[in-house]
Amino acid sequence: MPNAKISGIGFFVPPKVMTNEDLSQFMDTNDEWIQERTGIQERRYVENGVSTSDLAIPAVEMAMDNAGLEKGDIGLIIFATSTPDYYAPGSGCLLQEKMKFPTIGALDIRVQCSGFVYGLSVAQQYIENSIFKHVLVIGSEVQSTAMDLSTRGRDTAVIFGDGAGAVVVSASKDDSGILSTHLHSDGAYAKELWVEAPSSGISPRLNQEILDDGKHFLKMNGREVFRHAVTRFPEVIIESLDSNGFSSEDIDLLVPHQANIRIAQMIQKRLGLRDNQIYSNIHKYGNTTAASVPIALCEAVNENKVKKGDLVVLAAFGSGFTWASAILRW
């Protein structure tokens, strides 16, 4: 049975930088307040007209080039996003057409911040069962057009940014690759981090009352999200380590979802990790949801923080609640 290995990786963030000072022009906030609570200094925003599938294209091109593959080599597109181009069709189908891939399958995954790690798990099964030789996994988000850029929405608006990351998962005969993935969810907390409307349970799905009440904007119970994140993150990381006979001392690099610097610091403390065992770039890009793990992983690789043979752990927690981890031998 072949191993599922990341053979190529890429990312892209839009050039437009939005600093904390920029946001203070729209809402009652400031740089000190944002950095103290989140660790974020700036994030990237798309220009008008750029959609989620558009943003993914440069990341996919980089990953494909890094893997040395052509479009005809890819057997399946897995597209993780919480901000799809449309309700229908999925962003994966739009990417397939825009990039002129063959008429292969395109699967969208909607588990928000955990989406990329979920996507890796799906790709792993297809590769290990010899269904496909190469699977494209994408995390891409355009959050800026979905934010309430006012004092009413500042608790979430200051956190999120736009970006895309992509990997090619390929069949491999060596001992490197994805060792295991671990997925969880608990819908009892769905309303602690959600977008209430438009909704299939409302008729019409979008009306003036929804717009006036701001129900179409993301709402977050920050205290509850933090409480669960600092518990679930270490749990699912330890689960991946235990499943493969490792301890936290064996981790060469942990790449967590870039949600909040305080969450990352709590994870590091609970696992007893050194500073060089955990990667963070939230100060530059904010929380890019499903894109944050592949963006951070790509930057870590580009910065030579990951070398062949390293034990790399990816982990995410987000809306749903969902949480997941993947452990890889690089």
Residues labelled as active-site residues: 113, 257, 287
| CA 256/CA 294 separation, integer angstroms | 10
Partnered with residue 78 across adjacent β-strands are 107, 137
* Whether the bond into 294 is cis, omega within 30 of 0: no
Residue type, 273: L
| CA 263/CA 160 separation, integer angstroms | 15
Q: Which of 303, 271, 269 is nearest to 284 (CA)?
A: 303
| CA 283/CA 281 separation, integer angstroms | 5
Q: Are the C-beta atoms of 267 and 237 separated by less than 8 Å?
A: yes
Residue 311 in tokens:
């034990």
| CA 122/CA 169 separation, integer angstroms | 10
Burial class (CB in 10 A: 0-12, 13-18, 19+), 223: exposed
